[in-house]
Structure 1
Amino acid sequence: MTFSKTLKPALLASATILLGQGTALADPIKIAVNEWTGQHISAHFAGALFEQLGHEVEYVTAGAVPQLAAIAEGSLHYQPELWTNNVGDIYPKAVEAGDIIVVGGLGLEPQEGWIYPPYMAELCPGLPAYEALYDCAQAFAAADTFPDGRLITYPADWGTRSADLVDLIDLPFKPVPGGSEGAMLAELKSAVAAEQPILMMMWQPHWVFAETDVNWVEWDTPHGTCDEASQKRGEACGFQQATVDKIVAKDFATSYPDAMKMVELMNLTNDVQNVLILEVDQNGREVKEVVAEWMGANEDVWQPWVAAAKQ
């Protein structure tokens, strides 16, 4: 996803309309809420921790780009789950200017690439190394792709990165776009239940990993960042991986020193988020409910953070 290279006045105006006027940090602490379930969980987890410190919390719906302008001007205070691969170069420029403070990583380990069920390793010796796919493409073949293997890729309107990679490294597979995220997951679960061959593009954190056992194809280690340029140099490094940052407004630490300590300590792993996403997206439960339930069962994890933040 590509965005404008500058924080344009129109963007700032949009953020002001969406998120409210003002540059001073004041109660309540305003936390960004983006459009996917995992981030909702991170946001409400952070809010619950701030409430443990006695702060009031406000959850503010904000887009990936407008939230940066709002944090830079101080009308939004905290974003616990900023994915660095969906904000273009606006984010690093705002950080470099000192308008946004990066506190550190949330603890999530984002991953994107090709997955397969463990039983496929017997049919394709050499996995998880990608080189094995050259020799056992037929193990992944379907009637409409034979003798090439079948690779389920993202829906067509999500881009063509998997297809581009197949062409680039001349892999004997036919990319087949999934109709939707739901259709892809239904096919994965059906194939695993019947122990049928499947190779599919996927990402995590995601609820499917809380209930389905899969392995990831492994790629060459890139010399630097794995991107289009490195692929063109002949580096079969797979796909660029994002990082997930915790970011705050520049005055957050002075306005909320105890909350700043909490931000520094707050940590959330893939395993935890995957399970909570499953409860929300598949079992129809409320985000606040599943976060509260997890916190009630795991006080040994976060209570030390509260104690340290109050010191």
Structure 2
Amino acid sequence: MKKLTRNIAVAMSLSLTAVSSPAMAADSSKPIVIPTHNWSSQVVMAYVIGGIFESMGNNVEYVPADTQAVYEAIRNGDVTISHEVWQSTFGASFYNAMQKGGIIDAGTHAAMTLEEMGVPQYVIDDNLCPGLPKWEALANCPEVFATADSGGKGRWLEGPQSWHGNQMPERLAGLGLDDKYMVKFAGSADALWAELESAKKDRRGVITFNWTPNFTDAEGFVFIEFPEYFDGCRVGDGGNGACGSPKGWLKKAANYKFPKTHPAAYTAFSKISFTSTDIGQMAALVDIEKMSHQDAAKKWLSAHEDVWKPFTE
């Protein structure tokens, strides 16, 4: 009887230990679906994070995805994560999806962000438009930024219209500059970099959309100082659009089932926190060194094991 009692006690003890100290469940063999968008750092980071997941024994798939609709795709389970949620551009879509349920906040990168119109450093150095980077100076020098297709007005080369909609044309109108400037939407991020490179050769005036962190941080790019952003200043929020962009966070999003289906991968993903330097390096491998996104990711992972391996521990 004593032996039986002792055996029961041992069994109960083991059972309680199993309940109170849950072992990490194995990740599912189903692929983790990572979206790719249309700018270099996002695509390289997709393959970097995918490489991290694969180093842990996971399967990964990559799918092209719309930059705004991707949050609905994550919420519905068609895509697993988003690793570059820029506050200014995608914050509203991210939070709208969260309110519906099915998508979770998986943490924030160390890098702070800014998405804004600006000029190459030489435009300031050569004094092509005296008074820049203050926005008021633009009223006095539209001809400096005119192009063959701008109808005599100065041109702002914006990113693809899917990124910000009509935010920049609305800003021009709100600032009273729409009689002197027009907005042209680039087809891709590559078109922005091609225009910057072309303008640099002739040291001519050019205003383009850009962001930080990016590879251009090292080359020198100056963001125009517009009126400070505040909640409600944009047309879509009831304002007249006469404000700049806010500095913001760079978040990660995940489908709500990800922590359950791939607990090890989700834990690593929640730990991932890249700096502006990390992200700029990833983009530079493509935009400066002209590597493919996949090769750039492999090179970055190989050279920076000290950065990413702790995320998997």
TM-score (norm 2): 0.69
Largest Rg, 1 or 2: 2
Q: Answer yes or no: is the 8 Å Cα contact 1:38–1:205 preserved in 2.
A: no
Instruction: Work out whether 1:169 is the aligned partner of 2:172.
Output: no
Equivalent position of 1:130 in the other structure = 135
Q: Secondary structure at the match of 2:43?
A: helix
Q: Secondary structure at the match of 1:202?
A: strand
Q: Answer yes or no: is the 8 Å Cα contact 2:41–2:214 preserved in 1.
A: no
Instruction: Work out whether 1:152 is the aligned partner of 2:160.
Output: no
How far has the Cα of 1:187 moved from its partner?
3.8
- Structure 2 runs not aligned, ≥5 long: 1-26
Instruction: Work out whether 1:252 is the aligned partner of 2:258.
Output: yes
- Structure 1 runs not aligned, ≥5 long: 1-24
Please, which moves more after superposition, 40-49 or 88-97? 88-97
Q: Answer yes or no: is the 8 Å Cα contact 2:34–2:50 preserved in 1.
A: no
Partners of 2:101 and 2:117 in 1: how far apart? 37
Partners of 2:264 and 2:220 in 1: how far apart? 40
How far has the Cα of 1:91 moved from its partner?
4.2
Equivalent position of 1:13 in the other structure = none
Q: Which amino acid is 1:39 matched to? A: Q
How far has the Cα of 1:252 moved from its partner?
2.4
Q: Answer yes or no: is the 8 Å Cα contact 2:192–2:208 preserved in 1.
A: no
Partners of 1:210 and 1:156 in 2: how far apart? 21
Partners of 1:213 and 1:305 in 2: how far apart? 31
The 5 Å alignment of 1:16-95 reads 26-36=28-38, 37-52=40-55, 54-61=56-63, 63-64=65-66, 67-69=70-72, 71-74=74-77, 76-83=79-86, 91-95=94-98
How far has the Cα of 1:143 moved from its partner?
8.9
Q: Which amino acid is 1:151 matched to? A: R
Partners of 2:137 and 2:92 in 1: how far apart? 36
Q: Answer yes or no: is the 8 Å Cα contact 1:124–1:139 preserved in 2.
A: no
Q: Which amino acid is 2:222 matched to? A: N
The 5 Å alignment of 1:157-236 reads 160-171=166-177, 173-175=180-182, 177=184, 181=188, 184-198=192-206, 200-204=207-211, 209=216, 212-228=219-235, 232-233=239-240, 236=242
Equivalent position of 1:22 in the other structure = none
Partners of 1:244 and 1:210 in 2: how far apart? 17
TM-score (norm 1): 0.70
Q: What is the count of residue pairs matched by the alignment?
A: 278
- Alpha-carbon deviations, 1:102-139, whole Å to 9, x = none? 112345545332211223334545432212333x4267
